[in-house]
Chain A
Amino acid sequence: MIATVLAATTGDVTKAGKAIGLALGVGLGALGAGIGIGNIFASMIQSVARQPELRGELQGIQWLGFALTEAVVFYGLLGSILAYVLV
């Protein structure tokens, strides 16, 4: 373990920076999308609890919102991969 840390400090730091950038990009993207998806499903549960007969209609909108929000992670991922490959 200590040897790994020592190797990191003396070795190729650009690689480490790229790896950190990739992880940060995906991680922060996932943070935002996680909050968003949680909000969507929370609202869905509330709406169905209040008006169960609307479940069918709401389900389409729910999945639309889910996919739109989830895509945010992948924009982060794509940006990170671009930075990782190009820099």
Chain B
Amino acid sequence: MKLFPKVTLGAVWLLALALPAPAFARGEFDPTTEFEQHEWVSIHLGPLNMSITKAVAYLLIGTALTILLGLVLMRGKTLNRRQTIGESIYEIAQVQVAEQGLPGKAIGRWFPYVASLMLFIWVINLIGFIPLPLTGETWHGVPVWGIYAATSSLSVTLALALLTFVFTHVEGIRWNGPVRYFKSWIPEAPKALLALIVPLEILGQFMRLISLSVRLFANMLAGHILILTFIGLIFILESIVLAPFVIIVGSVFYIFEVVIVVSIQAFIFAALSAIYIGSAIEPEH
């Protein structure tokens, strides 16, 4: 009897390949259209384009939810279950993020930043996996529900990474003075090698900006494209027989993203921000 599921799966697979005549004909489905930004409310200030798009709407919802989460979970007179959840989030932010990266003298100033960064990115990532009627498309007048994360737009993650980048250097200069801070970029090495190492160190400072933003952006983008593509296989191969297969695989990816990737990425972004700011405040040499 153990063979039965395998045989069924094989049969479904073969049937799916055999049934549709134009099996390899490309359908109308294109997953990249899900990530286009359309201006819903046009706001132009000179050269600045501050229009409200899908990503902005998600960011606004995320901001409101983050504030609400802070108020609900962390304010209260008596200790109850809500506060226990709040305290466990606080403990992760303090023990795993702030104390790992920031030196003791700077925790008081920078703990609020890294903690709110963690909570904010976590909330935005999470509402990216809850279907909301914000796709901007309508089906017979009814808004279509879909999933989209604001962090799967490079502008959003680059703005967050720029915050950390600016704070890093401002704090480095404020605590050490400009001369000592920029001197700390030059590692101890033979004089002949310095001409090679110093440009690499300076390049490395800017690579942090790219790696910080692209990591979050590409993770969320790839997660959404993966789920969309698996569901979209029904439309690309034009065969409904594939549905049980693709829905199972799509759901597995969905659960993987929601349970692991969403939290890990929020944690990593905050932890790396803390480490970068901490290493600028206290350079190693």
**Measuring CB to CB, which residues of chain A are less than 8 angstroms from any residue of chain B?**
4, 60, 63-64, 66-68, 70-71, 73-75, 77-78
> Secondary structure of the B side of the interface?
helix
Which of A64, A73, A75 is B268 in contact with, Cβ under 8 Å?
A64
| Segment from B44-52, B55-63, B213-221, B238-246 that makes contact with A | B213-221
A84 shortest CB reach to chain B, Å: 10
* A-contacting residues, B18-63, CB 8 Å: 24
Are B214 and A74 in touch, CB under 8 angstroms? yes
Please tell me which one of the listed residues B96, B219, B267, B271 contacts residue A71 in the complex, with CB atoms under 8 A apart.
Answer: B219
Cβ of A78 and Cβ of B96 under 8 Å apart?
Answer: no
Q: Is the Cβ of B215 less than 8 Å from the Cβ of A74?
A: yes
Is B173 part of the contact surface with A, judged by Cβ < 8 Å? no
Task: Give A75 to B271 CA distance when docked, in angstroms.
Answer: 20
Q: Evaluate contact between B271 and A60: CB separation under 8 angstroms.
A: yes
Residues of B203-234 whose CB lies within 8 A of A: 211, 214-215, 218-219, 222
With contacts A63-B267, A64-B271, A66-B264 known, is A71 near B100, CB below 8 A? no
Task: Choose from A64, A66, A78 the contact partner of B218 (Cβ within 8 Å).
Answer: A78
Interchain CA distance A77-B96 in the complex, whole Å: 30
Chain B residues positioned under 8 Å from A64 (CB to CB): 268, 271-272
By a CB distance below 8 angstroms, the chain B residues around A78 are 214, 218
Flag if B264 contacts A71 (CB, 8 Å). no
B250-285 with Cβ < 8 A to chain A: 264-265, 267-268, 271-272
